[in-house]
Amino acid sequence: MEEETESRGGRETSQAWPMAMAATNLQQCSEPIGQIQRLRNYRPFQAMPRRHSCLLCPHLHKNISLLLRLPSFSPLPIWVVRVVWIPKTWCCLETHCVIGEEKAPANILIGSHVWVEDQEVAWIDGEVTKTNGEEAEIQTTDGKKVVASLSKIYPKDVEAPDGGVDDMTKLSYLHEPGVLQNLSTRYSLNEIYTYTGNILIAVNPFQRLPHLYDAQMMAHYKGAPLGELSPHVFAIADVAYREMINEEKSNSILVSGESGAGKTETTKMLMSYLAYLGGRAGTEGRTVEQQVLESNPVLEAFGNAKTVRNNNSSRFGKFVEIQFDKRGRISGAAIRTYLLERSRVCQVSDPERNYHCFYLLCAAPQEEIEKYKLGHPKCFHYLNQSNCYELVGVSDAQDYLATRRAMDVVGISKEEQDAIFRVVAAILHLGNVEFTKGIEIDSSALKDDKSKFHLQTASELLMCDLGALEDALCKRVIITPEEVIKRTLDPLSASVSRDGLAKTIYSRLFDWLVHKINNSIGQDPNSTSLIGVLDIYGFESFKTNSFEQFCINYTNEKLQQHFNQHVFKMEQEEYTKEQIDWSYIEFVDNQDVLDLIEKKPGGVITLLDEACMFPKSTHETFSQKLYQTFTKHKRFIKPKLSRTDFTIAHYAGEVQYQSDQFLDKNKDYVVPEHQDLLSASKCTFVAGLFPPIPEETTKSSKFSSIGSRFKLQLQQLMETLNSTEPHYIRCVKPNNVLKPAIFENVNVMQQLRCGGVLEAIRISCAGYPTRRTFFEFINRFKILAPEVVQGSYEEKATCVKILEKMGLKGYQIGITKVFLRAGQMAELDARRAEKLSNSAKIIQRKIRTHITRQKYLAILRATIILQTICRGKLVCKLYESMRREAGAITIQKNLRRHFSWKSYKRIQFSAVIIQAGSRSMAARNQFRYKNKTKAATVIQACWRCYKVFSCYKKLKRAVLVSQCRWRGRLGRKELRKLKMVGVITSN
């Protein structure tokens, strides 16, 4: 019950008005029901200012303005109903809106459930409580009130399934918060896979889910159409395989995501499923698919490392081509790698680790450790830069044995395995070689005996001359037309030379492994189709971003362009399939960023190569050249607080790069002294890593750089991808603590943005983001036009009539679906909600009337019962009073009788005494009379006296006896009465 106020003669009075009575009175009005149905419901009327409200009093026979304030969930404005009271009847005269002169968009109204940006959780849902021009006040679910612009608010689908949708194209509102909420809901249910059209989003669960990847699950997805079963990585692999078989066209699966998102594990699952589908086709006891699968542990051991974000992070890009014969059997395979992080060999930051192979070798059996003169990882400079030596839940000793077994499967002989680990051990020993100042100026020498020991051990493992190895580290040979000059290096330069040799050896070793795996597996020259699996690093942006991050982000820009074109192509295919017009849909490309990086001349890579070609160039001169060249480029930003950093606005956000080591990391050449030293090694394996370079090639070859070589590799990769039918898997890391059941919205949103998922959504929103089949559309919006649904129209015609009735424009009707523009679904939902609210209002009114009547009847029954009880209590009290009164009367009666009887007995006793005295007196008088008679009479008297005296004695004796008996009788009777009185009195 609420109070309302009205001004009467300058005074404000208040009166409580029951909700049920208001609803009942309004219900009696026949004409204005259509107007009143604009109201959400008849909640209790809230107190309002005097200028907006008046007293709703049924006792006043005059016009009254009734203000109904709708509840907070109502999307309608406040309405005033002008009514007049006639006894027992309300009549409506007019209705008009008192607020909302500047109305919000149709889909953002008061009471609408919306999403609004939040710094902590990215997006938070709430309810619009007030709109003011282009702004709205929102009551969020965490109890806060937020004011936001209407352009930055997105509607929320309150009818979304509790478990989310498996394909986000089914979302009623395809926007950032809707996508984020759907992924979060599914992740909480351990549903880690979700589609966005044909794109699979895989959220890392950070726990084992073996039931998702067993043989039974593989058989379950075999041959199943995409979308028929729950989203799964097997479904993507199966679609790629079926398209390759049916259409005889190569396919590719692109797996991307940031470190720790699960790319490597996803790639393993893909290859396992393709091996399951591809059957068996191999020779010499080792099948092709076995070698492909076992190549993963080998490449992981030498190409993966622990980073801050992931315990098994791939530090290189990998593209696996799995070739199939005409029967769909795996007949060959090839592995291509991209941009191994060579700097990690020499530089490791805490708490990361170097490449796994170093730790595996340190945990090898004791005879191997003694053979290579190894020890604990903390004894080696290349490993002890970080305090992390072991991984939780991982045994390096067991992984070492597993890597050895995998090498056997992929065809690496025992001798080659020994040579590989001998080279790895030599790199560790090289890292422990330290230098100090030599005798000559700017010269260097070995620091101590420990350094000499490690240098000698490295030379023994590499099977090269000890003196030549020391000279290669401490000296440089400069060849001039006149003479050959040997220049000594200072200790710092010698350390740089040592690290450069270690990085070069490791890079060549990794390339040899990839080449050996490819040769061992073998490629099928007769294969006409293949499935490529790309495991590539995701977009990276750290506090410090160097050359590796630049190349990684350049790769992602290329892949993002390919991704955008593919998504746009899928949109076009969908529109063409449904025969709708799509020519006016815009498509935004990121070609300007790619031109900034790779364009010739004038791109960043070109300018970097030019800087590397000049000996006197430094990172400062390189940065200044960038500033001068790209001053007006909208994607290039010069930081205000740095003279050498530069910022590039990528598709996923701005990244600031530090150019300090760009030149050194871009140079792709081997020091001639290192080349000559190792090519002359007595170990054929080491010499094979450094084959002699023909003199003609050396003279004719131009400058080579990592950037240019990577650019060429990337172009070849894009050509391969463009020749295949791509399928995309976007891996997402839900949290940075690498623990299950934690979903960090801001982190996930950034990854979706970096992975291009939000860009795909933007492309979809540029066309027709909301698509519903005719049946789904009619089932959802038939309430808007029930007369159309009741008619005998086809589904397509019914959809058209519903849309025409709603007055929407710009939509498209396909063959099987309705295509709606961005925002139109929200508008239809708003009208549907209004329609439902009107119906709900009528139902609420009836129910409230029913509930009020039930309450009244209950109160009536309770009143009757209460009255009955009260009356019974009163009668009981009256009866008790009457009983007490009757008892008192009885007591009084008996007491009065007793008193009367006692009085009677006293009177009786007195009478007897009086009678006795009177009789005695009469006898004495008579006796005296007789004495006065004559003597004659004396005798007579004596005789007679004798006779009388005798008679008198007898009579007296009889009288006494009679009196005694009579008095005894009366006494006994009186005694009984007294006993009865005593009994009554005692009761």
Residue from 766, 767, 761, 762 nearest 580 by CA:
767
Alpha carbon of residue 408 to chain centroid: 44
Q: Using CA atoms, how far apart are residues 389 and 377, in angstroms rounded to an integer?
A: 7
Which conformational region is residue 260 in: left (phi greater than 0), alpha (psi within -120 to 50 degrees), or beta? left
708 is catalytic: no
Question: Which one of 313, 354, 770, 837 is the catalytic residue?
Answer: 313
Residue from 113, 110, 151, 115 nearest 134 by CA:
151
Question: Which one of 112, 264, 556, 770 is the catalytic residue?
Answer: 264
Question: Which one of 178, 260, 332, 767 is the catalytic residue?
Answer: 260
314 is catalytic: yes
Q: Using CA atoms, how far apart are residues 569 and 564, in angstroms rounded to an integer?
A: 8
Question: Which one of 303, 538, 756, 823 is the catalytic residue?
Answer: 538
| Six token digits for residue 935 | 């003597």
Question: Which one of 107, 185, 256, 259 is the catalytic residue?
Answer: 259
Q: Are 503 and 345 a contacting pair, CB within 8 Å?
A: yes
**Exposed/middle/buried for residue 735 (C-beta within 10 Å: 0-12, 13-18, 19+):** middle
| Six token digits for residue 214 | 């067993």
Q: What percent of the residues of the chain are helix, what percent strand, and what percent coil, each to the nearest 5? A: 50, 15, 30
**Secondary structure (H, E, C), 130-152:** EEECCEEEEEECCCCEEEEEHHH
260 is catalytic: yes
197 is catalytic: no
- Cα dihedral 566, 572, 575, 580, rounded to 10, equals 160
331 is catalytic: no
Q: Using CA atoms, how far apart are residues 144 and 126, in angstroms rounded to an integer?
A: 9
Question: Which one of 310, 444, 497, 527 is the catalytic residue?
Answer: 310
**Beta strands at 113-118 and 154-155: parallel, antiparallel or unpaired:** antiparallel
| Six token digits for residue 642 | 């740095």
Question: Which one of 6, 321, 540, 598 is the catalytic residue?
Answer: 540
Which conformational region is residue 381 in: left (phi greater than 0), alpha (psi within -120 to 50 degrees), or beta? alpha
411 is catalytic: no
| Six token digits for residue 979 | 């006993």
- Cα dihedral 672, 673, 679, 683, rounded to 10, equals -150
Q: Are 186 and 168 a contacting pair, CB within 8 Å?
A: no
Residue from 146, 67, 153 nearest 113 by CA:
153
| Six token digits for residue 436 | 């100090």
Count CA atoms within 13 Å of residue 941 on its CB side. 13
538 is catalytic: yes
**Exposed/middle/buried for residue 339 (C-beta within 10 Å: 0-12, 13-18, 19+):** buried
Residue from 721, 824, 835, 841 nearest 777 by CA:
824
653 is catalytic: no
Give the ranges where 279-413 is alpha helix by DSSP (H). Answer: 288-303, 356-362, 366-372, 381-384, 396-410
Question: Which one of 295, 314, 541, 564 is the catalytic residue?
Answer: 314
Q: Are 486 and 475 a contacting pair, CB within 8 Å?
A: yes
Catalytic residue positions, numbered? 259-260, 264, 310, 313-314, 538, 540
